[in-house]
Amino acid sequence: MSTPGSDAQPEGIQDTSTTAIKAWLLLALLMVASIVSFVDRQVVAIVVEPMKVDLAISDSQIGWLYGVFAVFYAVAAWPLAYLADRYSRKHIIAVGVFVWSLMTIACGLSRNFWQVLTARVGVGIGEASLGPATVSMVGDTFPRRQIPLALSVFQTAAVMGSGLAFLIGGLVLELVQGSQPVVLPWVGALKPWQLTFIYVGVPGLLLSGVFLLITEPQRRELNPPAHGIEPLRQFYRTNTKAMMLHHGGFLAFALAGYAFVFWTVSYFVRVHGEDAAQAAQAFGLIFLLTGPLGPVLAALLARRLTERGHHDGNIRAAQILGTLGIPCVVLIQFLPSAQWAYLMYIPAMIFVNAPFGLANGSLAVVAPRAIHAQVAAVYLFVVSIGNLLGPPVAGFFNEVVFPETDGVRFSMISVVLMFGLAGTVLLQLARKPYARAYARMETLENSKVRG
């Protein structure tokens, strides 16, 4: 591992040590890791119905299988980010990929709810390594004005991973449902939903070794990061209003979005009578083909606004496109057939996914590079509350407020309206203080280059 700041040099005089080609190749590898992480993260949503039957658990418990992942993902993110701002990021990612992949396989070997829950804890801890380390690496390999675009492109991998989770998970589930039972020593016969976890977890074990072969990007910060968390505290003291409203707005959008995505397959099964495997494949294909357009569209809109002198361009673009997702989700719940619902999912997935590349990208251009990973971890901690609460809150609505077979549609309307509109309002309030933070950092960066 490198020591803090041992390879640092000013951005202004860093010539061609990291070329544009190398930067985009590194981003491509990080995107592959993100795709694998989201496949492993989201696969639980595909096997909801068979898992409920085999483990005799409720909608709320199923929701907590995602929620507990989010808790430990958030808790582990900050210490891992602290290390990422100081030591080898490629080693941190390599270990994280190995851990979350192994724990995904462990989900498939579990025999009861508590074993699956414990394995999901491990998935969350492992996946917490990727986000903060990625923000730190991108901050050291791309020019400042390209960082929001680069991180929005990176976010498309999360969307593709979610789409592939439903597509591949649905295919695997369909294949193993008709295959001969697999019997393992000490474990016994494995059900189709268990085999689905195992098969999607294996590729990550191989990917972890690839990160050991890459070159660690040089750090651009002029001085090594200070010990402790004082630089992080100073940043949040200076930008309290901007950061609180930023984090709160994206948290609200995340809660609405994760609830909507998590219960999609169950919506098609319960409301339209679709087969779970086929619904997962259809939804996964829509997610894969249209979802990545959202973050890219948001990044391009943000860049256009910023180039026109709007320092709040990153926040404004996320707010506009995220808000457009709300009526799409509500309309889906009233459509008379699965075919019409699938069609409306095309714009819904574009707009629901649009804000989140800019969530991290907007932070990386207002925070000092020495604390990029830590600021990303704070944001991940906050937004993970949305990941934590979205599925179980909707599950609670399914059971208690709208217990009918098709009640999931009214749960979606309630959750998306409440939290989606909250996200719109909070990001509207964030625009002015964020613009001040952006201008302040731009002045500081320009003074470094002139110096």
In the chain the domains, ranked by start, together with CATH numbers, are 19-218+231-450 (1.20.1250.20)
In contact, 13 and 138? CB cutoff 8 Å: no
Q: How confident is the model at residue 261 (pLDDT cuts 50, 70, 90)?
A: confident
Residue 190 has pLDDT above 90, yes or no: no
- Between 166 and 338, whose confidence is greater? 338
In contact, 86 and 37? CB cutoff 8 Å: no
How many other CB atoms sit within 10 Å of the CB of residue 13?
7
- Between 234 and 165, whose confidence is greater? 234
The C-alpha torsion from 8 through 246 and 394 to 166, rounded to 10°, is -40
CA proximity to 417, closest of 292, 331, 359, 344: 331
Residue 223 has pLDDT above 50, yes or no: no
Q: What are phi and psi of 62, to 5 degrees?
A: -60, -45
- Between 15 and 129, whose confidence is greater? 129
Q: How confident is the model at residue 6 (pLDDT cuts 50, 70, 90)?
A: very low
Residue 4 has pLDDT above 80, yes or no: no
Rank 141-155, 300-314, 357-371 by mean pLDDT and report only the highest.
Answer: 300-314
Name the β-bridge partners of 188: 184
Mean pLDDT of the chain: 84
Residue 11 has pLDDT above 70, yes or no: no
- Between 380 and 114, whose confidence is greater? 114
Structure tokens at 250: 């994206």
Q: In this predicted structure, what is the pLDDT of residue 372?
A: 79
Residue 389 has pLDDT above 90, yes or no: no
**Whole-prediction pTM value?**
0.72
In this prediction, residues 412-419 reach a mean pLDDT of: 92
| Whole-angstrom distance, CA of residue 358 vs CA of residue 153 | 10
Q: In this predicted structure, what is the pLDDT of residue 29?
A: 94
Residue 414 has pLDDT above 60, yes or no: yes
In contact, 207 and 39? CB cutoff 8 Å: no
Provide, for the chain, the percentages of residues in helix, strand and coil under a 3-state DSSP scheme, each rounded to the nearest 5: 80, 0, 20
Q: Residues near 82 by Cβ (< 8 Å), separated by ≥ 6?
A: 229, 373, 374, 377
Q: In this predicted structure, what is the pLDDT of residue 449?
A: 52
Residue 193 has pLDDT above 90, yes or no: no
Residue 219 has pLDDT above 90, yes or no: no
Question: Which amino acid, 302?
Answer: A
Q: In this predicted structure, what is the pLDDT of residue 13?
A: 38
Rank 83-87, 262-266, 313-317, 394-398 by mean pLDDT and report only the highest.
Answer: 313-317
- Between 202 and 390, whose confidence is greater? 202
User: For 289-306, what is each residue's pLDDT tens digit?
Assistant: 888 898 889 989 999 998
User: For 64-89, what is each residue's pLDDT tens digit?
Assistant: 787 778 788 888 887 888 888 788 89
Least confident of 251-260, 283-292, 387-396: 387-396
Q: How confident is the model at residue 9 (pLDDT cuts 50, 70, 90)?
A: very low
Q: In this predicted structure, what is the pLDDT of residue 7?
A: 40
Exposure of 386 in the CB half-sphere (CA atoms within 13 A): 27
User: For 310-321, what is each residue's pLDDT tens digit?
Assistant: 999 999 999 999
Radius of gyration of the chain (CA): 21
